[in-house]
Structure 1
Amino acid sequence: MVTLNRIYTRTGDQGTTRLATGEPVSKAAARVEAYGAVDETNACLGMARVHTAADPELDTLLARLQNELFDLGADLATPPRPDEAEGAVLRVSDRQVERLEAEIDALNDRLPPLQSFILPAGTPAAAALHLARTVCRRAEREAVRLVEAGETVSPAALRYLNRLSDLLFVAARAANDLGRSEVFWKSGATR
Protein backbone atom coordinates (compact mmCIF):
# COMPACT_ATOMS: atom_id res chain seq x y z
CA MET A 1 0.00 0.00 0.00
CA VAL A 2 1.30 3.41 -0.96
CA THR A 3 0.38 6.38 1.22
CA LEU A 4 0.60 9.87 -0.22
CA ASN A 5 0.09 12.59 2.35
CA ARG A 6 1.27 15.44 0.14
CA ILE A 7 0.77 15.59 -3.59
CA TYR A 8 3.32 18.27 -4.37
CA THR A 9 6.90 17.97 -3.18
CA ARG A 10 8.58 20.81 -5.10
CA THR A 11 11.47 18.41 -5.83
CA GLY A 12 10.63 18.39 -9.54
CA ASP A 13 10.61 22.14 -9.98
CA GLN A 14 14.06 22.06 -11.57
CA GLY A 15 13.10 19.44 -14.17
CA THR A 16 14.27 16.36 -12.32
CA THR A 17 12.54 13.40 -10.77
CA ARG A 18 13.64 10.21 -9.04
CA LEU A 19 13.44 6.67 -10.28
CA ALA A 20 12.09 3.98 -7.96
CA THR A 21 15.71 3.37 -6.88
CA GLY A 22 15.97 6.97 -5.67
CA GLU A 23 18.35 7.91 -8.46
CA PRO A 24 17.74 11.47 -9.69
CA VAL A 25 17.17 11.85 -13.44
CA SER A 26 15.87 14.43 -15.87
CA LYS A 27 12.14 14.39 -16.42
CA ALA A 28 13.02 14.07 -20.11
CA ALA A 29 15.19 10.96 -19.57
CA ALA A 30 14.40 8.01 -21.84
CA ARG A 31 13.31 5.83 -18.91
CA VAL A 32 10.92 8.52 -17.67
CA GLU A 33 9.55 8.93 -21.21
CA ALA A 34 8.91 5.17 -21.37
CA TYR A 35 7.05 4.83 -18.11
CA GLY A 36 5.31 8.14 -18.76
CA ALA A 37 3.86 6.74 -21.98
CA VAL A 38 2.74 3.67 -20.03
CA ASP A 39 0.96 6.03 -17.62
CA GLU A 40 -0.71 7.76 -20.59
CA THR A 41 -1.85 4.37 -21.89
CA ASN A 42 -3.37 3.68 -18.49
CA ALA A 43 -5.23 7.00 -18.55
CA CYS A 44 -6.57 6.16 -22.01
CA LEU A 45 -7.86 2.86 -20.66
CA GLY A 46 -9.60 4.79 -17.90
CA MET A 47 -11.33 6.91 -20.55
CA ALA A 48 -12.26 3.78 -22.52
CA ARG A 49 -13.83 2.29 -19.40
CA VAL A 50 -16.27 5.20 -19.29
CA HIS A 51 -17.75 3.57 -22.40
CA THR A 52 -17.42 -0.11 -21.43
CA ALA A 53 -19.46 -0.18 -18.22
CA ALA A 54 -22.28 -1.94 -20.08
CA ASP A 55 -19.89 -4.73 -21.13
CA PRO A 56 -18.79 -6.40 -17.88
CA GLU A 57 -16.40 -8.81 -19.64
CA LEU A 58 -14.52 -6.05 -21.46
CA ASP A 59 -14.62 -3.68 -18.50
CA THR A 60 -13.18 -6.35 -16.18
CA LEU A 61 -10.40 -7.00 -18.68
CA LEU A 62 -9.57 -3.29 -18.90
CA ALA A 63 -9.60 -2.93 -15.10
CA ARG A 64 -7.04 -5.74 -14.81
CA LEU A 65 -4.92 -4.17 -17.55
CA GLN A 66 -4.91 -0.86 -15.70
CA ASN A 67 -3.48 -2.57 -12.63
CA GLU A 68 -0.92 -4.40 -14.74
CA LEU A 69 0.14 -1.10 -16.31
CA PHE A 70 1.03 0.15 -12.83
CA ASP A 71 3.17 -2.99 -12.46
CA LEU A 72 4.78 -2.25 -15.84
CA GLY A 73 5.42 1.37 -14.85
CA ALA A 74 7.11 0.17 -11.66
CA ASP A 75 9.17 -2.29 -13.71
CA LEU A 76 10.35 0.45 -16.08
CA ALA A 77 10.97 2.92 -13.23
CA THR A 78 13.30 0.44 -11.53
CA PRO A 79 16.42 -0.19 -13.63
CA PRO A 80 17.47 -3.83 -13.23
CA ARG A 81 20.65 -4.51 -11.27
CA PRO A 82 22.99 -7.40 -12.06
CA ASP A 83 22.72 -8.68 -8.46
CA GLU A 84 18.91 -8.38 -8.34
CA ALA A 85 17.37 -11.37 -6.63
CA GLU A 86 14.43 -13.08 -8.34
CA GLY A 87 11.22 -11.49 -7.08
CA ALA A 88 12.99 -8.67 -5.22
CA VAL A 89 11.51 -6.05 -7.57
CA LEU A 90 8.09 -5.92 -9.19
CA ARG A 91 8.62 -7.07 -12.78
CA VAL A 92 6.24 -7.98 -15.58
CA SER A 93 6.23 -11.74 -16.07
CA ASP A 94 6.15 -14.05 -19.06
CA ARG A 95 2.91 -15.46 -17.60
CA GLN A 96 1.27 -12.05 -18.00
CA VAL A 97 2.37 -11.92 -21.65
CA GLU A 98 0.99 -15.41 -22.24
CA ARG A 99 -2.35 -14.38 -20.71
CA LEU A 100 -2.51 -11.42 -23.12
CA GLU A 101 -1.90 -13.79 -26.04
CA ALA A 102 -4.71 -16.09 -24.88
CA GLU A 103 -7.04 -13.10 -24.53
CA ILE A 104 -6.12 -11.83 -28.01
CA ASP A 105 -6.91 -15.25 -29.48
CA ALA A 106 -10.21 -15.57 -27.58
CA LEU A 107 -11.43 -12.12 -28.64
CA ASN A 108 -10.20 -12.51 -32.20
CA ASP A 109 -12.04 -15.84 -32.58
CA ARG A 110 -15.33 -13.95 -32.10
CA LEU A 111 -14.55 -11.41 -34.85
CA PRO A 112 -14.99 -11.61 -38.60
CA PRO A 113 -11.76 -11.73 -40.61
CA LEU A 114 -10.45 -8.32 -41.62
CA GLN A 115 -11.00 -7.58 -45.31
CA SER A 116 -9.49 -4.08 -45.20
CA PHE A 117 -7.71 -1.70 -42.89
CA ILE A 118 -10.06 -0.11 -40.38
CA LEU A 119 -10.17 3.46 -39.17
CA PRO A 120 -9.93 4.18 -35.45
CA ALA A 121 -13.63 4.98 -35.21
CA GLY A 122 -17.03 3.42 -34.64
CA THR A 123 -18.52 3.24 -31.17
CA PRO A 124 -17.20 5.53 -28.43
CA ALA A 125 -15.63 2.52 -26.65
CA ALA A 126 -13.89 1.37 -29.84
CA ALA A 127 -12.56 4.85 -30.61
CA ALA A 128 -11.22 5.16 -27.05
CA LEU A 129 -9.57 1.74 -27.27
CA HIS A 130 -7.95 2.66 -30.58
CA LEU A 131 -6.53 5.78 -28.91
CA ALA A 132 -5.20 3.62 -26.06
CA ARG A 133 -3.67 1.28 -28.66
CA THR A 134 -1.77 4.10 -30.37
CA VAL A 135 -0.47 5.47 -27.08
CA CYS A 136 0.58 1.94 -26.11
CA ARG A 137 2.53 1.66 -29.38
CA ARG A 138 4.31 4.89 -28.45
CA ALA A 139 5.14 3.43 -25.03
CA GLU A 140 6.60 0.42 -26.80
CA ARG A 141 8.71 2.66 -29.06
CA GLU A 142 9.95 4.59 -26.00
CA ALA A 143 10.92 1.34 -24.28
CA VAL A 144 12.77 0.21 -27.41
CA ARG A 145 14.58 3.58 -27.54
CA LEU A 146 15.60 2.99 -23.95
CA VAL A 147 17.14 -0.36 -24.89
CA GLU A 148 18.81 1.15 -27.96
CA ALA A 149 20.36 3.79 -25.68
CA GLY A 150 22.07 0.98 -23.76
CA GLU A 151 19.63 0.77 -20.86
CA THR A 152 18.30 -2.54 -19.60
CA VAL A 153 14.60 -3.31 -19.90
CA SER A 154 13.14 -6.68 -19.07
CA PRO A 155 12.32 -8.65 -22.24
CA ALA A 156 8.92 -9.52 -20.73
CA ALA A 157 8.12 -5.80 -20.40
CA LEU A 158 8.83 -5.24 -24.08
CA ARG A 159 6.75 -8.27 -25.09
CA TYR A 160 3.95 -7.12 -22.78
CA LEU A 161 3.74 -3.71 -24.48
CA ASN A 162 3.70 -5.33 -27.92
CA ARG A 163 0.94 -7.80 -27.02
CA LEU A 164 -1.05 -5.17 -25.15
CA SER A 165 -1.35 -3.00 -28.24
CA ASP A 166 -2.51 -6.08 -30.18
CA LEU A 167 -5.06 -6.85 -27.47
CA LEU A 168 -6.33 -3.27 -27.55
CA PHE A 169 -6.76 -3.57 -31.33
CA VAL A 170 -8.94 -6.66 -31.08
CA ALA A 171 -10.76 -5.21 -28.05
CA ALA A 172 -11.60 -2.13 -30.15
CA ARG A 173 -12.94 -4.40 -32.88
CA ALA A 174 -15.01 -6.28 -30.31
CA ALA A 175 -16.30 -2.98 -28.89
CA ASN A 176 -17.45 -2.12 -32.40
CA ASP A 177 -20.36 -4.56 -32.08
CA LEU A 178 -18.04 -7.50 -32.80
CA GLY A 179 -16.90 -5.82 -36.00
CA ARG A 180 -20.35 -4.78 -37.27
CA SER A 181 -19.75 -1.06 -36.56
CA GLU A 182 -16.22 -0.87 -37.96
CA VAL A 183 -15.33 1.95 -40.31
CA PHE A 184 -13.22 0.75 -43.22
CA TRP A 185 -10.45 2.65 -44.97
CA LYS A 186 -11.35 3.69 -48.49
CA SER A 187 -8.06 3.83 -50.34
CA GLY A 188 -7.63 6.99 -52.38
CA ALA A 189 -11.24 8.04 -51.70
CA THR A 190 -10.41 11.75 -51.58
CA ARG A 191 -8.21 12.05 -54.68
Structure 2
Amino acid sequence: MAKFYTGQGDDGSTGLLGEGRIPKYDLRMEAIGAVDEASAALGVARSQCSRSENQTRILRIQRELYRLMAELAATPQTAARFHTIDSNAVRRLEDEIGILEQSVSAPNEFILPGDSSAGAALDLARTIVRRAERRVTEILARGEITNADLGRYLNRLSSLVFLMELSENAASGRENPSLAKEK
Protein backbone atom coordinates (compact mmCIF):
# COMPACT_ATOMS: atom_id res chain seq x y z
CA MET A 1 0.00 0.00 0.00
CA ALA A 2 1.31 3.45 -0.94
CA LYS A 3 2.16 5.98 1.75
CA PHE A 4 0.33 9.29 1.56
CA TYR A 5 3.17 11.27 3.15
CA THR A 6 6.92 11.48 2.80
CA GLY A 7 7.87 13.46 5.88
CA GLN A 8 10.20 15.61 3.76
CA GLY A 9 8.21 18.74 4.55
CA ASP A 10 8.46 18.35 8.29
CA ASP A 11 11.26 20.92 8.29
CA GLY A 12 8.90 23.56 6.87
CA SER A 13 10.06 23.30 3.27
CA THR A 14 8.50 21.93 0.12
CA GLY A 15 9.87 20.74 -3.18
CA LEU A 16 9.52 22.44 -6.52
CA LEU A 17 9.19 20.86 -9.96
CA GLY A 18 12.93 20.64 -10.44
CA GLU A 19 15.88 20.91 -8.11
CA GLY A 20 15.50 22.68 -4.80
CA ARG A 21 13.13 23.35 -1.96
CA ILE A 22 11.54 26.52 -0.64
CA PRO A 23 9.87 27.44 2.65
CA LYS A 24 6.18 26.55 2.81
CA TYR A 25 5.45 30.19 3.67
CA ASP A 26 7.14 31.44 0.47
CA LEU A 27 4.97 33.73 -1.66
CA ARG A 28 5.17 31.22 -4.50
CA MET A 29 3.58 28.59 -2.25
CA GLU A 30 0.93 31.14 -1.23
CA ALA A 31 0.11 31.64 -4.92
CA ILE A 32 -0.02 27.91 -5.60
CA GLY A 33 -2.22 27.45 -2.53
CA ALA A 34 -4.59 30.21 -3.63
CA VAL A 35 -4.92 28.67 -7.11
CA ASP A 36 -5.53 25.28 -5.49
CA GLU A 37 -8.24 26.83 -3.28
CA ALA A 38 -9.80 28.48 -6.33
CA SER A 39 -9.97 25.12 -8.08
CA ALA A 40 -11.56 23.50 -5.03
CA ALA A 41 -14.10 26.31 -4.72
CA LEU A 42 -14.87 25.98 -8.43
CA GLY A 43 -15.42 22.26 -7.82
CA VAL A 44 -18.01 23.08 -5.16
CA ALA A 45 -19.65 25.50 -7.58
CA ARG A 46 -19.56 22.95 -10.41
CA SER A 47 -21.39 20.44 -8.22
CA GLN A 48 -24.16 23.01 -7.67
CA CYS A 49 -24.48 24.49 -11.16
CA SER A 50 -27.74 23.82 -12.95
CA ARG A 51 -26.42 24.88 -16.35
CA SER A 52 -24.46 22.06 -17.99
CA GLU A 53 -22.40 24.52 -20.04
CA ASN A 54 -21.12 26.06 -16.78
CA GLN A 55 -20.28 22.61 -15.41
CA THR A 56 -18.30 21.80 -18.56
CA ARG A 57 -16.62 25.21 -18.55
CA ILE A 58 -15.60 24.88 -14.90
CA LEU A 59 -14.16 21.39 -15.37
CA ARG A 60 -11.96 22.67 -18.22
CA ILE A 61 -10.88 25.62 -16.09
CA GLN A 62 -9.99 23.34 -13.17
CA ARG A 63 -7.73 21.37 -15.50
CA GLU A 64 -6.11 24.59 -16.68
CA LEU A 65 -5.62 25.72 -13.07
CA TYR A 66 -3.83 22.44 -12.37
CA ARG A 67 -1.41 23.25 -15.21
CA LEU A 68 -1.09 26.84 -13.95
CA MET A 69 -0.05 25.50 -10.52
CA ALA A 70 2.57 23.30 -12.19
CA GLU A 71 3.97 26.33 -13.97
CA LEU A 72 4.12 28.25 -10.69
CA ALA A 73 5.94 25.33 -9.05
CA ALA A 74 8.53 24.98 -11.82
CA THR A 75 12.11 26.05 -11.31
CA PRO A 76 13.80 28.27 -13.91
CA GLN A 77 15.46 25.13 -15.29
CA THR A 78 12.13 23.30 -15.79
CA ALA A 79 9.86 26.28 -16.55
CA ALA A 80 9.71 25.70 -20.32
CA ARG A 81 8.47 22.15 -19.81
CA PHE A 82 5.51 23.35 -17.72
CA HIS A 83 4.61 26.45 -19.77
CA THR A 84 1.02 25.86 -20.96
CA ILE A 85 -0.90 29.00 -19.98
CA ASP A 86 -0.41 31.42 -22.84
CA SER A 87 -2.22 34.10 -24.81
CA ASN A 88 -4.40 31.41 -26.41
CA ALA A 89 -5.68 30.36 -22.97
CA VAL A 90 -6.41 34.00 -22.14
CA ARG A 91 -8.20 34.45 -25.47
CA ARG A 92 -10.36 31.35 -24.80
CA LEU A 93 -11.54 32.95 -21.58
CA GLU A 94 -12.20 36.23 -23.39
CA ASP A 95 -14.27 34.36 -25.99
CA GLU A 96 -16.32 32.69 -23.27
CA ILE A 97 -16.81 36.05 -21.56
CA GLY A 98 -18.13 37.40 -24.87
CA ILE A 99 -20.60 34.54 -25.15
CA LEU A 100 -21.90 34.92 -21.58
CA GLU A 101 -22.09 38.73 -21.83
CA GLN A 102 -24.80 38.29 -24.44
CA SER A 103 -26.97 36.13 -22.21
CA VAL A 104 -26.82 37.94 -18.84
CA SER A 105 -27.45 41.50 -17.73
CA ALA A 106 -24.70 43.22 -15.82
CA PRO A 107 -26.01 44.94 -12.69
CA ASN A 108 -25.48 48.69 -12.33
CA GLU A 109 -24.38 48.31 -8.71
CA PHE A 110 -22.43 45.92 -6.53
CA ILE A 111 -24.41 42.79 -5.76
CA LEU A 112 -24.57 40.61 -2.68
CA PRO A 113 -23.75 36.91 -3.05
CA GLY A 114 -26.39 34.35 -2.17
CA ASP A 115 -29.18 34.66 -4.69
CA SER A 116 -28.63 30.98 -5.57
CA SER A 117 -26.45 28.22 -4.14
CA ALA A 118 -24.42 27.92 -7.33
CA GLY A 119 -24.13 31.70 -7.63
CA ALA A 120 -22.87 32.01 -4.06
CA ALA A 121 -20.33 29.22 -4.62
CA LEU A 122 -19.16 30.92 -7.80
CA ASP A 123 -18.82 34.25 -6.01
CA LEU A 124 -16.65 32.63 -3.34
CA ALA A 125 -14.54 31.05 -6.09
CA ARG A 126 -14.23 34.45 -7.80
CA THR A 127 -12.84 36.06 -4.65
CA ILE A 128 -10.29 33.27 -4.28
CA VAL A 129 -9.27 33.67 -7.93
CA ARG A 130 -8.74 37.39 -7.24
CA ARG A 131 -6.45 36.53 -4.31
CA ALA A 132 -4.51 34.13 -6.51
CA GLU A 133 -4.19 36.88 -9.10
CA ARG A 134 -2.76 39.26 -6.48
CA ARG A 135 -0.17 36.67 -5.40
CA VAL A 136 0.82 35.79 -8.96
CA THR A 137 1.09 39.48 -9.87
CA GLU A 138 3.47 40.02 -6.97
CA ILE A 139 5.63 37.07 -8.01
CA LEU A 140 5.72 38.49 -11.54
CA ALA A 141 6.71 41.92 -10.20
CA ARG A 142 9.54 40.33 -8.23
CA GLY A 143 10.79 38.59 -11.38
CA GLU A 144 10.47 35.12 -9.86
CA ILE A 145 8.32 34.04 -12.82
CA THR A 146 8.15 35.65 -16.22
CA ASN A 147 4.93 34.46 -17.88
CA ALA A 148 2.65 37.51 -17.64
CA ASP A 149 -0.17 35.44 -19.18
CA LEU A 150 -0.61 33.78 -15.78
CA GLY A 151 -1.80 37.07 -14.29
CA ARG A 152 -3.90 37.88 -17.34
CA TYR A 153 -5.49 34.42 -17.23
CA LEU A 154 -6.52 34.82 -13.58
CA ASN A 155 -7.82 38.33 -14.25
CA ARG A 156 -10.06 37.13 -17.08
CA LEU A 157 -11.07 34.08 -15.06
CA SER A 158 -12.47 36.25 -12.27
CA SER A 159 -14.61 38.09 -14.83
CA LEU A 160 -15.82 34.82 -16.35
CA VAL A 161 -16.68 33.39 -12.94
CA PHE A 162 -18.71 36.51 -12.16
CA LEU A 163 -20.67 36.08 -15.38
CA MET A 164 -21.25 32.41 -14.58
CA GLU A 165 -22.60 33.55 -11.19
CA LEU A 166 -25.07 35.85 -12.94
CA SER A 167 -26.09 33.08 -15.34
CA GLU A 168 -26.68 30.61 -12.51
CA ASN A 169 -28.69 33.20 -10.59
CA ALA A 170 -30.81 33.80 -13.69
CA ALA A 171 -31.28 30.06 -14.22
CA SER A 172 -32.60 29.80 -10.66
CA GLY A 173 -35.12 32.57 -11.33
CA ARG A 174 -33.11 35.40 -9.75
CA GLU A 175 -32.53 37.68 -12.74
CA ASN A 176 -32.52 40.74 -10.48
CA PRO A 177 -29.70 40.21 -8.01
CA SER A 178 -29.67 41.45 -4.45
CA LEU A 179 -27.95 44.82 -4.48
CA ALA A 180 -25.45 45.97 -1.89
CA LYS A 181 -27.26 49.28 -1.53
CA GLU A 182 -30.71 49.27 0.01
CA LYS A 183 -33.37 50.94 -2.05
TM-score normalised per structure 2? 0.91
1:15-26 alignment runs, 5 A limit: 15-26=12-23
Equivalent residue, structure 1, for 2:152: 159
Partner SS, residue 25 of structure 1: strand
Counterpart Cα distance in 2 of 1:103 and 1:128? 19
Cα–Cα, structure 1 residues 145 and 71, in superposed 2: closer, same or farther, change >3 Å?
same
Letter paired with 2:55: D
1:44-83 alignment runs, 5 A limit: 44-52=41-49, 54-81=50-77
Counterpart Cα distance in 2 of 1:57 and 1:27? 37
Tell whether 2:134 aligns with 1:141. yes
Segments of 5+ residues of structure 1 without an aligned counterpart are none
Counterpart Cα distance in 1 of 2:140 and 2:109? 34
Query: Which 4+ runs in 1 deviate beyond 4 A?
Result: none
Aligned length: 181
Q: 1:21 Cα deviation (Å)?
A: 1.3
Q: 143, 150, 153: which is aligned to 2:143?
A: 150
1:32-87 Cα deviation digits (max 9, x unpaired): 111110000000011111201x3211100011111111011011111444x965xx
Equivalent residue, structure 1, for 2:118: 125
Counterpart Cα distance in 1 of 2:82 and 2:154? 19
Aligned-residue RMSD, C-alpha: 2.0
Segments of 5+ residues of structure 2 without an aligned counterpart are none
Counterpart Cα distance in 2 of 1:10 and 1:181? 51
Counterpart Cα distance in 2 of 1:144 and 1:115? 28
Letter paired with 2:84: R
TM-score normalised per structure 1? 0.87
Counterpart Cα distance in 2 of 1:101 and 1:79? 29
Equivalent residue, structure 2, for 1:94: 87
1:66-119 Cα deviation digits (max 9, x unpaired): 1111011011111444x965xx33431211110000101111111124222111
Q: 1:155 Cα deviation (Å)?
A: 1.1
CA contact (8 A) 2:107 2:177 kept: no
Q: 1:181 Cα deviation (Å)?
A: 4.9
Instruction: Tell me which moved more, 41-50 or 115-124.
Output: 115-124
Letter paired with 1:20: L
Cα–Cα, structure 1 residues 165 and 186, in superposed 2: closer, same or farther, change >3 Å?
same
Letter paired with 2:41: C
Partner SS, residue 14 of structure 2: strand
